[in-house]
Amino acid sequence: MALIIQKYGGTSVANAERVTEVAKRVLKYKNEGNDVIVVVSAPAGTTDSLIKRAYELSDTPNKRELDMLLTSGEQISIASLAIAIEELGGKAISLNAFQVNFNTTDAHTKAQILNIDTDVIKENLSKGNVVVFAGFQGITKNNEITTLGRGGSDTTAVALGAALSADEVEIYTDVDGVYTADPRIVSNARKLESISYKEMLELAASGAKVLHPRSVEIAAKYGIKIHLRSSFDDSLGTIVESEGEKSMEKAKIIGVTSSKNEGKITLSGLPDKPGIAAKVFSTLAKSKINTDIILQSSSINKELNNISYTVKSDDLLEAVRISEELKKELGAEGVTFEERIAKVSVIGIGLKTHYETTAEIFDTLAENNINIDMISCSEINVSCIIKESDVEKAVRALHSKFLEN
């Protein structure tokens, strides 16, 4: 008997028909003698609708109340799926974070998992139930409801897999695996049979939406094998594990990703002295704002510097507010920001040691008249900040150059 954890995204439980199809798939695994835990997201569009409601009521909704509102979406899904499983002759019980004691930090809308009390889950599995668990949510030591942020249901599923030593974690979405680029942008993108944790983490962090970066970090830490699959058919997907598709010494390009939900902030005219950058980014970190690409450059006055950095669009207004406060505190000359920017990334093992490949990335963008605003390079990732209007052209050009020949 194996312990299987399955996670289903919002499109998989979008309506009663889809919920019933998921129930049939779950019972197939259960009837084969496996213990099954199912983690589900809110029905497609529900979270966005709830966020819209909150911001119609307030420009800055209280984060505690926002979490209280958003977690209602997952509770719709778990109860619906449990009902569907029982209607098909199975046994199921729906559980939320409070009932399981799924403990997190108290950072509302961005909570991190601390520990999971698995006793209630084990007890219900021993009674023959399929356990249907609410993804995305947690509970603090003071019994406050929290959420894990976008993609939190992936993180929930893999965390349960680690806590319960699951035999397999399957992540079901509306795509059938990891592709070399978004198939909606590049029609001939290739599905990968396997990919390493490191490569998947870079793809996910750079814009690939099939798996959340935090879930990959947990999987790598605990050695959890993830199978990314489609909930619309029975095809094999992509295995995420310690080693992916192998190559020798040459740089191996695994994929091209993009992200449009980016914002850029520039603090100009900062004093050029030690500790300024540390103050800027430690202040942002205290507000749980993750920065991505950072660029420091000299201004016309050599005693002053400019610092530019990118954040996710969801954090942009808060980051601008903090930057305005830092401007006054540090004696900077100004704060500017841009909303409609995008990031395109080329992911591949060995990029840092293969300078000719990095040069070809920039050449390809130049040949397509795409201007680069900021650049970030690592051993496995070359990312460029460009205009949002150029992003799809950039993805197609880079995919054609490195993955189609």
In whole angstroms, what is the distance from residue 204 CA to residue 200 CA?
6
What is the predicted pLDDT for the residue at 401? 92
What is the predicted pLDDT for the residue at 358? 86
**Average pLDDT, rounded, for the chain:** 91
Inform me whether the pLDDT recorded for 387 exceeds 70.
Answer: yes
Domains delineated in the chain: 3-246 (3.40.1160.10), 254-403 (3.30.2130.10)
The amino acid at residue 236 is L
Inform me whether the pLDDT recorded for 102 exceeds 70.
Answer: yes
What is the predicted pLDDT for the residue at 249? 41
In whole angstroms, what is the distance from residue 185 CA to residue 345 CA?
14
Pairing of strands 3-8, 35-40: parallel
Inform me whether the pLDDT recorded for 248 exceeds 50.
Answer: no
pLDDT grade for 35, boundaries at 50, 70 and 90: very high
The DSSP 8-state label assigned to residue 71 in this structure reads: T
pLDDT tens across 309-320, in order? 999 888 999 999
Pairing of strands 374-377, 381-387: antiparallel
What number is the average pLDDT over the span 142-146? 96
Residue 286 Rama label (left phi>0; alpha psi -120 to 50; beta): alpha
Neighbours of 183 (CB within 10 A): 14
Inform me whether the pLDDT recorded for 30 exceeds 60.
Answer: yes
* Residue of 111, 377, 372 lying closest to 264 (CA atoms): 372
pLDDT tens across 76-94, in order? 999 999 999 999 999 999 9
Q: Kindly list the strands in the beta sheet with 374-377, ordered across the sheet, starting from the edge strand earlier in the chain.
A: 294-298, 304-312, 252-271, 334-349, 381-387, 374-377
Strands (E), 251-357: 252-271, 294-298, 304-312, 334-349
DSSP 3-state of 320: helix
Residue 143 Rama label (left phi>0; alpha psi -120 to 50; beta): left
pLDDT tens across 161-175, in order? 999 999 989 999 878
What number is the average pLDDT over the span 121-132? 97
Report percent pLDDT > 90 for the chain: 70
Inform me whether the pLDDT recorded for 43 exceeds 60.
Answer: yes
* Residue of 212, 298, 297 lying closest to 9 (CA atoms): 212
